């Protein structure tokens, strides 16, 4: 059986850069506090004219071009997002289908917060490996800026807007997604939620992340019959460099094998993993046959991870 793997990647970030210095003018905060606590230096913020489906569509177009396929070949569209254009429905995936002028194939959103992109990749894998689909467009896209309370320094400094996309298809027996885990513990729902605006118990989410990330990485690596020392690149959800470092240290993964993009994009929720993946591929850091681990955690509380042979 040919495993599902990535055959194209793309990303899009808005042009407007908001630095920590810019935030100092609006909030009781400092570049020093934000940098030392989170590693974030700047983030991208979308204009009023661009909503999540626009960010998603731009990333999708880049991924389609990168894959060298025609838009008409896409046979399923999955969008991981928590910041849909509309409250409720229609889904971002439907809007993307129309904006791309893709065929009227199945299209739906996946709601698992910052773990959503991996959840969606795992779903795509099932459809591909049963033979139901050949070219699945998976997007992580967020306009976090519209759900942040810009007067709340506890959360406003953390988030940014952006989108990343991949095309998944059958690749080969020994490449593609080798193993995966999805998890959810709704008893932590109150730690991170959106009513009118995003609210978070930062310390509890921090503790959850530093505990769960290394554990889930270890489990998916074991499941693939591999060892952590064989991992060539770790692509973690980008919320905070201290969380990423803690997970990598616990597993003994050296810094040069760990992707960090939170410094320039902030936390873009479900977009952060594909944005990081695109950066590392574009920098030439990921080579044919490399073993990647993708890992996410977030509201729900949820977590997800997978191993992928590039």
Active site residue 98: no
Tell me the C-alpha distance between 6 and 151, whole Å.
40
- Asked if 35 is part of the footprint of ligand ACO (rule: CB under 6 A), the reply reads no
- Asked if 202 is part of the footprint of ligand ACO (rule: CB under 6 A), the reply reads yes
Question: To the nearest whole angstrom, how small is the minimum distance from the Cβ of residue 5 to ligand ACO?
Answer: 26
# chain residues binding ligand ACO, by CB under 6 A: 23
3-state class of 89 per DSSP?
Answer: coil
Question: To the nearest whole angstrom, how small is the minimum distance from the Cβ of residue 16 to ligand ACO?
Answer: 20
Pairing of strands 106-110, 42-44: unpaired
Q: Which is nearer to ligand ACO, 232 or 263 (CB)?
A: 263
Pair of tokens at residue 106: 């199945």
Choose, from 11, 94, 114, 133, the residue flagged as catalytic.
Answer: 114
Among the residue ranges 28-36, 54-62, 170-178, 254-262, the one whose residues contact ligand ACO (CB under 6 A): 28-36
Q: Which is nearer to ligand ACO, 10 or 116 (CB)?
A: 116
Report which DSSP code applies to 138: E
Pairing of strands 161-170, 136-143: antiparallel
Pair of tokens at residue 63: 């991924």
Among the residue ranges 11-19, 125-133, 151-159, 217-225, the one whose residues contact ligand ACO (CB under 6 A): 151-159
- Asked if 145 is part of the footprint of ligand ACO (rule: CB under 6 A), the reply reads no
How buried is residue 70: exposed, middle or buried, by Cβ count under 10 Å (0-12/13-18/19+)? exposed
Counting runs of H as helices and runs of E as strands, what totals does the chain give?
Answer: 10, 13
3-state class of 194 per DSSP?
Answer: strand
The residue within the footprint of ligand ACO, chosen from 41, 146, 206, 228 (CB under 6 A), is 206
- Asked if 304 is part of the footprint of ligand ACO (rule: CB under 6 A), the reply reads no
Site for ligand ACO in 245-284 (CB under 6 A): 267, 269
Long-range contacts from 190-194, C-beta under 8 angstroms, 24+ separation? 191/299, 191/301, 192/113, 192/298, 192/299, 192/301, 193/299, 194/82, 194/147, 194/299
Question: To the nearest whole angstrom, how small is the minimum distance from the Cβ of residue 247 to ligand ACO?
Answer: 12
Which of 155, 89, 159, 93 has its CA nearest to residue 124? 93
Question: To the nearest whole angstrom, how small is the minimum distance from the Cβ of residue 213 to ligand ACO?
Answer: 10
- Asked if 197 is part of the footprint of ligand ACO (rule: CB under 6 A), the reply reads no
Question: To the nearest whole angstrom, how small is the minimum distance from the Cβ of residue 200 to ligand ACO?
Answer: 6
Pairing of strands 106-110, 76-80: parallel
Tell me the C-alpha distance between 91 and 117, whole Å.
15
- Asked if 188 is part of the footprint of ligand ACO (rule: CB under 6 A), the reply reads no
Residue 22: partners with Cβ closer than 8 Å, 6 or more residues away:
none
Q: Which residues sit at the interface with ligand ACO, rule CB under 6 A?
A: 29, 33-34, 37-38, 113-114, 153-154, 157, 192, 200, 202-203, 205-206, 209, 239-240, 267, 269, 298-299
Residues assigned a catalytic role: 114, 237, 267
């Amino acid at each position: 059986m040919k495993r599902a793997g990535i055959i194209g990647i793309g990303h899009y970030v808005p042009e407007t850069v908001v630095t920590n210095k810019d935030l100092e003018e609006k909030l009781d905060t400092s570049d020093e506090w934000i940098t030392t606590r989170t590693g974030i230096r700047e983030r991208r913020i979308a204009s009023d004219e661009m909503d999540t489906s626009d960010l998603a569509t731009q990333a999708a177009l880049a991924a389609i071009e990168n894959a060298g396929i025609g838009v008409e070949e896409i046979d399923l569209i999955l969008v991981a997002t928590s910041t849909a254009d509309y409250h409720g429905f229609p889904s971002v995936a439907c809007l993307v289908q129309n904006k791309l002028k893709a065929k009227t194939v199945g299209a739906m959103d996946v709601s698992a917060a910052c773990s959503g992109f991996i959840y969606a990749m795992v779903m795509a894998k099932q459809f591909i490996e049963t033979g139901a689909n050949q070219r699945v467009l998976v997007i992580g896209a967020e306009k976090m800026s519209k759900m942040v309370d810009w007067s709340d320094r506890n959360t406003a400094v953390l988030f940014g807007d952006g989108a990343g996309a991949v095309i998944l298809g059958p690749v080969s027996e020994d490449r593609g997604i080798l193993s995966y885990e999805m998890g959810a513990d709704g008893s932590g729902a109150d730690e991170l939620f959106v009513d009118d605006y995003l609210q978070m118990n930062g310390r509890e989410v921090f503790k959850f992340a530093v505990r769960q990330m290394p554990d889930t990485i270890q489990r998916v690596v074991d499941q693939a019959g591999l060892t952590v020392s064989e991992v060539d690149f770790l692509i973690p959800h980008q919320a905070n460099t201290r969380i990423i470092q803690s997970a990598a240290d616990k597993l003994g993964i050296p810094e040069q094998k760990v992707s960090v993009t939170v410094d320039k994009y902030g936390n873009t929720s479900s977009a952060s993993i594909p944005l990081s993946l695109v950066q590392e591929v574009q920098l030439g850091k990921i080579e044919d046959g490399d073993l990647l681990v993708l890992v996410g955690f977030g509201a729900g509380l949820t977590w997800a991870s997978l191993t992928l042979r590039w």
